[in-house]
Amino acid sequence: MDQQLKREKSNDVELYVKKQQLHWLLQITKAINYNMPATQLFEIYEIVMREQLKVQNLALFVHESQWKKMLAYGAHENFLINNQEVLETRFSELNQLQFNNVQLPDWVQGFESIIPVYHNERALAYAFIGDLQHDGISHMKEVLPFIHTITNIIVVAIENKRLTKDTILQAQMQREMELAARMQTMLFPAHLPADKRVDLAATYLPHQQVGGDYYDYIQLNDDELMICLADVSGKGISAAILMSNFQANLNAKAHHFTTLKELVIDLNASVNKSAKGEKFITAFIGVLNTKTHQFRYINAGQNPPFILSNGKFQLLEKGSTGLGMFEDLPFVNEGIAEMKPNDVLFCYTDGIVEQENEVGDTFSLEILMEMIHKNEDVFTMKDLHFRVLDTFNEFRKDTEAIDDVTLLSCRILPNL
């Protein structure tokens, strides 16, 4: 009779425990469905473990960008070391174990069981369980499946919340990048000169949605045309913002300086004020007089453009250092060249001449100049760009572009 009463009492306790497990499983599911924050989910998890299951020793570590201790009580201090290098070593060691009849590492003291949580073969969390003192549970094995279930449910739910948040943030960033890209295109001239005196063409191929290259032209008067090609150090939004500031300053100030040297010195001050020494801009600025055929320029650290005239090249190297590299430019030299009818002025950024192909060869300035020489008689500068880029793409094939590619070319048309 006594044995039967004991069995009935044991069955009643076991039934009660099962009902409690079901109750808390439903509570956890509701909390997840109500989109409760991770902190509240961990609070529910602790209540179940500490108060319902009477787990005396518990530690839960979760991996997000790094391993973090989310919950712990009853664990010795050495176990709770928060040094990331130590944690990475420890959990890497656990990854090698199968947890079945193996000797656990010495640092896992005071715990009887380890519950790993994996997602897509990646360890998301480890729960360390020890010293269960529930009257209705005689052995840890009886409750481990339930602990394993709620640990997995909570950790995976939080991971899914994080992934969803990341997806939303990525979508927002993508929209912002698309907006920035559209805004950046507004910096470039909507139309290039198309008259009987000059043929001007430009091509811009951004490496990313938002780049750091920039080209422009400004009609100073009936006979003089200013052109500019520039490249901001670095990439992304910050480079685009600095370039937009540079573009605004150039367009606002181009008409108010009598010499290129004065303009470049002023632009250097503006870049220093905006970039605060964190970035700089390489730029080539030139003024072409379509009547006298004189071309005045300053090369501020840009890859040297060149003029092709009667089969001979002239590199345009005179100038200064990049803008924003120094508070005061150490030197500023203005160069002067002549551009006769049919001569070709060709400007480019380093994204084309530093590009490597699949075997490590560089496109190089020599290859570019050879391409221009072969095609100098093409009908328009736009056609010239098409041929250069065809050769460039054939050269690099499937090799990823390393940087933005910008081309700017000009030819004085002969008087008809």
User: What topology does CATH give the domain 187-412?
Assistant: Phosphatase 2c; domain 1 (3.60.40)
Reported as a single tens digit per residue, the pLDDT across 282-316 is 999 999 998 899 999 999 999 999 999 988 999 99
Q: What percent of the chain has pLDDT over 90?
A: 31
Mean pLDDT of the chain: 83
- Whole-structure pTM value: 0.61
Pick 138 or 317 by higher pLDDT.
317
Per-residue model confidence as pLDDT tens digits over 152-161:
888 888 888 8
Rounded to an integer, the average pLDDT of 135-156 is 74
Q: How far apart are CA 213 and CA 239, in angstroms?
A: 9
204 or 96: which leads in pLDDT: 204
Q: What's the average model confidence in pLDDT over 262-277?
A: 91
pLDDT above 70: percentage of residues in the chain: 84
Q: Which fold has domain 2-166?
A: Beta-Lactamase (3.30.450)
Predicted confidence (pLDDT) at residue 7 exceeds the cutoff of 60: no
Tell me which residue has tokens 């997840």.
32
The residue assigned the tokens 């049919």 is 342
Rg (alpha carbons) of the chain, rounded to whole number? 35
Residue 292: what pLDDT?
92
d(Cα 99, Cα 103) in Å, to the nearest integer? Answer: 8
Q: Under 8 Å CB-to-CB from 102, ≥6 apart: which residues?
A: none
Residues of the chain with CATH 3.60.40.10: 187-412
Segment 200-222 mean pLDDT: 83
- DSSP string of 4-44, one letter each residue: HHHHHHHHHHHHHHHHHHHHHHHHHHHHHHTT--HHHHHHH
pLDDT of residue 308: 94
User: CATH 3.30.450.40 occupies which residues in the chain?
Assistant: 2-166
What pLDDT digit, counting tens, does each position of 352-394 carry?
A: 998 988 888 999 999 999 989 988 777 789 999 999 999 999 9
- Classified as helix, coil or strand, 103 is coil
pLDDT at 84 over 50: yes
pLDDT at residue number 150: 85
* pLDDT tens-digit map of 225-260: 999 999 988 776 777 778 888 888 999 999 988 899
Please determine, for residue 197, whether its predicted confidence score (pLDDT) is greater than 80: yes
Residue 8 pLDDT exceeds 70: no
pLDDT tens figures, 16-67: 556 766 777 777 777 777 778 888 888 888 888 888 888 888 888 988 888 8
Handedness of CA 381, 383, 389, 394 (dihedral sign): negative
Distance (Å) of CA 368 to CA 129, 214, 308, 376, 392: 67, 20, 12, 12, 9
Checking if the pLDDT of 409 tops 90, the result is: yes
Q: What is the pLDDT of residue 416?
A: 46
